[in-house]
Amino acid sequence: MLTRIISALVAIPILLYVVFKGDNTLTIGVLIVSTLGIIEFFNAFNNIKIKPSKSVGVISCLLLFIINMFSYEPVNFLPLWFFSMGLLVLIKMVLDSKFTIMDTLVTITGLFYVSFLINHIALMTKNVNYDKFIWLIFIVAWATDTCAYFTGYLFGKNKLCPDISPKKTIEGAIGGIFGSVLVSVIYSYYFIPKYVIHFAIIGLIGSILGQIGDLVASMFKRYCGIKDYGKIMPGHGGILDRFDSILFTAPLVYYYVTFML
């Protein structure tokens, strides 16, 4: 427990600083997190003798970084990124005879699951109100995790998905949803009162998606036979162990803000 607390005391100020600074600082932060995350994801599959291409994964993160840094509308270049990554994977298959179909499938999965999904945090910096809305990505994910944990600990009886994550309960999941909505509404009340209904909706949907993201991460870990994705944060695991929910809440917040507000 002490190790977890110390890690959190180190990591949280860094995250707060990066998000507060925004713009290029946040974009660089996303590059670092996505690069470490995709390496962790591919390393997990090495445990079961599947060898996705780390070089392709790193290139995918670098290309997204370049697009975010030097384009006013980076979302317009995402089709180019998808095309480039698909072409690169095909070239890898042709040139490397040891690169199997399973290696290819996991590589493609990693590109979408890690590089693409987490990149939505960087895309938020191009939104005129991103400095207020971007916090929802983290608020929803962490409020859900915290409230789900304590609700499940105090009242949890019925298992949610025992084959994937034995400790998660239906009661905990419901508590996580209520906690996310409540914290999102409180945040809206103090910072953007006119959007309180929208924030409640984001809190609701984001909590559900965040918990699905948590289960997806657990599913991958169970398939690969590992407990944590890494050890970069002692007591917490790897980057993906901390960002598994955020991978799913970030796209929701970005697209909701872009198309609904």
The predicted-structure confidence for 181-223, as pLDDT tens digits, reads as follows 999 999 999 999 999 999 999 999 999 999 999 999 999 999 9
> pLDDT class for 116, splitting at 50, 70, 90?
very high
Helix (H, G, I), strand (E, B) or coil at 55: helix
Other beta carbons less than 10 A from residue 220's beta carbon: 21
**pLDDT exceeds cutoff 80 at 15:** no
Residue 157 DSSP label? -
Cα distances (Å, whole numbers) of residue 5 to 36, 105, 172, 233? 22, 37, 22, 11
**pLDDT exceeds cutoff 70 at 7:** no
Nearest to 44, CA basis, from 212, 230, 213 = 230
Nearest to 185, CA basis, from 202, 199, 204, 201 = 199
